[in-house]
Amino acid sequence: MNYDKFLQVFSLITLGVLFGLMFMGGYVSSSGVGLSCPKWPLCPHGLVPSPEFLIEYTHRTIAASTGLLVLLTMVFVLRGKNSVKSTKIFSIIATCAVLGQIFLGGVVINEKLRALLVTAHLGLGLILYSSIIFVVMNIYYTNLRSKLSSSSTLNSATSITSTAPPPTRSNDDKSSVKFFSNKSGL
């Protein structure tokens, strides 16, 4: 798999995991288990939570994985030869947003789910999601444009180097279709 295709797949996986995180965050918020793990970043009992902390712990684990994926997406975009400037900028914005989300998530827990902080956490999450959507779409369009331009370059190079006349059909072949007629002026 070439680097551009890898970047397409990796950024799409990042977007999918981010969507799952936002879905899980909505569930945590609406089910009222947001403070089931009252300490941040780990729940009581350390890395292996007890069953009453499982939903919130799952949300935090997905959040950590998402943060790593967003960071790696930015690194891969910045290293990509075909990445355009806007894709690089939005991958940096997404990484800053994910770092802000991690910080804000901790503040939300420590401040006992204050409504304004929870709303800010959601708003920053939407900025993060929008940025990753932009990155994914830009990567796909850049790769498509690159593929189309290389195939058109290949086609034009082939037509320039091909100087042989087009094949003609003989008059003996009754089943053939006559492509050129004398009436057309060709």
From residue 67, how far is each of 9, 53, 71, 131 by CA, in Å? 17, 21, 6, 14
Residue 118: which pLDDT band, with cuts at 50, 70 and 90? very high
Domain residues of the chain, as ranges? 3-146
pLDDT in tens, 119-144: 999 999 999 999 999 999 999 999 99
pLDDT in tens, 22-78: 999 999 888 888 887 777 777 777 777 777 788 888 898 899 999 999 999 999 999
Which amino acid belongs to residue 134? Answer: F
Half-sphere exposure of 110 (CA within 13 A, CB side): 9
Tokens read off for 80:
């990509």
